[in-house]
Structure 1
Amino acid sequence: MTQPIRLAQVGIGKIARDQHLPAIAGDDRFALVASVDRKGGVERLPVFPTIDALVAAGLGVEAVSLSTPPAGRRALAANAIAAGLHVMLEKPPAATLSEIDDLAARAKAAGVTLFTSWHSRAAAGVEPARAWLADKRVTGLRIIWKEDIRRWHPGQEWVLGPGGFGVFDPGINALSIVTAILPQRLFVEAATLRVPENRDAPIAASLNLRTGEAAGSAELDFLQTGPQSWDIIVDTDGGTLKLHDGGSRLELPHETPDVGANREYPNLYARFAELVAGRTSDVDVRPLQLVADAMLIARHERAEAFAF
């Protein structure tokens, strides 16, 4: 029997406890042996303040999964790669495109796996949506991605700080889906970002998009109360496709196919295990490129001050 991959979780925040730890525990291809966090770790496992301290402990760790904020993540991942560890990155994979380019080059030189994981791509309806769109001509695209920052990022000031991405932290999930399912490349043609007067990152954004000859739009909002909206609507010459609930529910013309249970993070760790076994990497920066493009060409509007 193949021995499980000895893994350490780096960053023990809300996303790690809600998603990463349960997914790791449910996959016998991994054995969680330690955590790295300066504030607290995983119960009954060794916790270390740095990657270097983890490696020095001699636990035989083979891989790390990083779920720290994107700002500062490059240094952590670079240290792990230098130690010969395989690396999985929570989305967004880094604070800038240059950082992830550097990490990809380091991983290739070191012969280790680097995996930029986009969890929403692993939602149950995404692959069936891609397959259905493959032979269609897209005529329109609408993204409505609206959620409550206070519910999903309670007290996490970094999200609205420099390098925190603001509303693009959830919005990049939608961009990760559409870049996976559309048969042609997606571009940002214009953007309006609304930034609270006391913050550095946008709390809402409107994007004008284009794929092939089709125009599209994206409405992103971090102040949605009540029901949350994670919807993608693609008009085609064969009818309209709709993805709801972050990609977990698919509607096609005249049918609502059963796409099965939603297993985003278990699917990500299954993919990571495959990559490690094959000593290959999966580095896709297209969603991050679109965010960077929007930031470059955006018109900025001031919004009222925000407090958690």
Structure 2
Amino acid sequence: MAEKMKVALVGIGKIAVDQHVPSIATSGDWELAATVSRSGTVNGVPAFTDIETMLIDRPEIGVVSLCLPPVPRFEYAAACLRAGRHVMLEKPPGATLAEVYALDALARDAGKTLFATWHSRMAKGVQVAKSALAGKKVERGHIDWKENVRQWHPDQDWVFDPGGMGVLDPGINALSILTEVLPAPVHLRSAVLRTPANRQTPICAEMMFSGGITASFDWLKKGTQTWEQRFTTTDGTSVHLLDGGNRCIVDGTEQPVTELGEYPALYAQMSHLIRTGKSDVDLSPMVHVSDIMTLARRKEAPAFEW
């Protein structure tokens, strides 16, 4: 059996605790060897409060997974690459497209793997939907991505600060699926963003893309949360993704799906990339977000408080 790779996890917040830590713990490829966080820790794992100290003190750790918010992430990622570490980026991979292109160049120069992850692409039904749409022309489609920010990002003001993206933070998950399953690319035609009077980023968004694709994102959804995408092709094929892409219905019939969950699949892919000497830095979901922020009309929404 191959020796497990040592990984350091940076940013011990909700997503790290809920997804990254258990995915690493149950993997045969990985050992969580250190954490870096101003306050968060993982029981039994050596903890650091700054990245530079960890990189100096733990040279045997060859991989760093960054889970901190996107705005400060560039400096951490650049430091890790310059120190000869492979780097895994939570979504979105950065605060701007330019900085991720810069990280990609750094990784190539260093001969290290850079993985810009999109966890929703690893949802169990996504590849089934992609196969069902392959070789077909999508006539129309609609996305409903509606959840409660108070449940998923409680008291996390950074999501409403510049760079936090607001509702486009979960919305980029939907866009990552869209750009994975469609047989041909689409581009934004128009959008409307509603931003709370006391915040910097939108809480609701409506979008219209080429190819008959529309989308509705809402961060104020009470009750049952909705993460669905529906597509109809010119030959009449219907594809319905539910539960964030974890269920797929084709022409009214539920399809068998993969067993591996989103974050375990990401870590399996990171292991594969490192072992094969490759990187994966697909920025197409982030391009759509950038286009939305560029083209959208702005409307004021009521002030938002936690």
Q: Deviations over 1:230-276 (max 9, x none)?
A: 00001112321100000000011142112143510000000000011
The list of structure 1 runs, each at least 4 consecutive aligned residues, that deviate by more than 4 angstroms after superposition, is: none
**Within-5 A mapping of 1:66-145:** 66-145=66-145
Task: Tell me if structure 1 keeps the 8 A contact 2:249–2:255.
Answer: yes
Matches within 5 A, 1:1-308: 1-58=1-58, 60-210=60-210, 214-236=211-233, 237-261=235-259, 263-308=261-306
Contact kept, 8 Å, 1:190 with 1:298, in 2: the verdict is yes
One-letter code of the match for 1:123? A
SS class of match (2:191): strand
Give the Cα separation in 1 of the matches to 2:42 and 2:53: 16
RMSD over equivalenced CA pairs, Å: 0.9
Distance 2:284 2:230 in 1: 20
Deviation at 1:41, TM superposition (A): 1.5
For 1:103-155, what per-residue CA distance to the aligned partner results, in whole angstroms no more than 9, with x for missing partners? 00000000000001100000010001111101211100100000000000011
Counterparts of 1:178 and 1:260 in 2: how far apart (Å)? 19
CA distance in 1, matches of 2:286, 2:137: 25
CA gap of 1:238–1:262, structure 2 versus 1, over 3 A, is farther
Count of residues in Structure 1 that have an aligned counterpart in Structure 2: 305
TM-score normalized by the length of structure 1: 0.97
Matched residues, percent identical? 45
Q: Does the 8 A contact of 1:248 with 1:262 survive in 2?
A: no
Q: Distance in 1 between matches of 2:264 and 2:237?
A: 32
Residues 128 and 255 in structure 2, CA contact (< 8 A), matched pair in contact too: no
CA distance in 2 between counterparts of 1:8 and 1:53 reads: 12
2:254 match: secondary structure? coil
State the TM-score, normalized to the length of structure 2. 0.98
Contact 1:136 1:238 survives alignment (8 Å): no
The separation in 2 between residues aligned to 1:279 and 1:290, in whole angstroms, is 28
Cα displacement (A) at 1:58: 3.0
The residue matched to 1:101 in structure 2 has which SS?
helix
Q: Which amino acid aligns with 1:47?
A: A
Taking a change above 3 Å as real, the CA distance of residues 128 and 218 of structure 1, as seen in their structure-2 partners, is: same
2-side partners of 1:48 and 1:76: how far apart?
14
Listed as ranges, the gaps of 5+ residues in structure 1 are none
Work out whether residues 64 and 88 of structure 1, in 8 Å CA contact, stay in contact via their aligned partners in 2: yes
Mapped contact 2:193–2:204 kept (Cα < 8 A)? yes
2-side partners of 1:180 and 1:59: how far apart?
A: 36
Q: Given that residues 37 and 50 in structure 2 are in contact (C-alpha distance below 8 angstroms), is that contact kept between their aligned partners in structure 1?
A: yes
Secondary structure of 1:176's partner?
helix
Question: Quick one: which amino acid aligns to residue 194 of structure 1?
Answer: R
CA distance in 2, matches of 1:149, 1:40: 22
Write the deviation string for residues 267-300 of structure 1: whole angstroms up to 9, x where unpaired.
0000000011112100000000000000001100
